[in-house]
Chain A
């Protein structure tokens, strides 16, 4: 790994964290393109993004738990059930064409962008004074 990649990874990681905190989106949506930009393949980027998400999600969950917002039993049921889905996702990701997976991820980004824009416009209508 070159010095350039290390610096770029640190800067993009910090920037991704700021944007995800600011806009309430998950880190993964930004980690994956960051890791692809740094030279990883699409599946490697997805796998590595999941490891990169863990500290942010753990800190976030811990803070939200202190505020009393986490329903622990529901989180556990959703989390444990997700393991079976995760196994299926890995089987699909490691079998399909990597460029198709990258394109599907691009479509996901467009969907998130649409959701954000919709939320912003609706909020703007509800609070017309907020710029």
Chain B
């Protein structure tokens, strides 16, 4: 089991710093698929791991002078309030059409980044 968790961590780490994401997108399915975690336990455990991964990523990128703390604070602090509100709203707003609309938004942003 530990070997599988180490492998999941290695993959998540590369993903995390390469793209600036927490790595949950690879950790959650891998914990479910390789380590037989229940989905909600996988998501929660992934959050704990992300705190460590992101801290390491920030430290490593700081050496290269790539971290902009003022921008991180301006975006990250209101995001905490937003995430709490969003999680709360999920009880009433988790419709299929809404999910597809959000997927559509991600496609637009993705195409913008690929083309631009």
Contacts and interface: CB of A to CB of B under 8 A. Distances in A.
Given A1-B70, A16-B79, A33-B113, A51 B97 contact: no
Contact of B53 (A59, A82, A121, A124): A82
Contacts of A101: 18
A17 B74 contact: no
Contact of A94 (B64, B67, B114): B64
Interface residues of B, number: 93
Given A46-B17, A69-B40, A61 B48 contact: yes
Instruction: Classify the interface of chain B: helix, strand, loop or mixed.
Output: helix
Contacts of B31: 74, 78
Interface string A61-103: 1001101011110111111111111111110111000000111
Interface string A14-44: 1111111111111111011111101010011
B56 to A, nearest CB: 4
A107 B55 CA distance: 25
Nearest to B13: A85
Contacts of B45: 69-71, 74-75, 78
B70 to A, nearest CB: 7
Given A64-B47, A81-B6, A113-B104, A22 B89 contact: yes
Interface of A: 1, 6, 9-29, 31-36, 38, 40, 43-61, 64-65, 67, 69-72, 74-90, 92-94, 101-110, 112-114, 116-117, 119-121, 123-124, 130-131
Given A46-B20, A108-B21, 11 more contacts: A9-B74, A22-B93, A35-B75, A51-B69, A52-B79, A54-B51, A78-B8, A85-B17, A86-B57, A88-B14, A89-B15
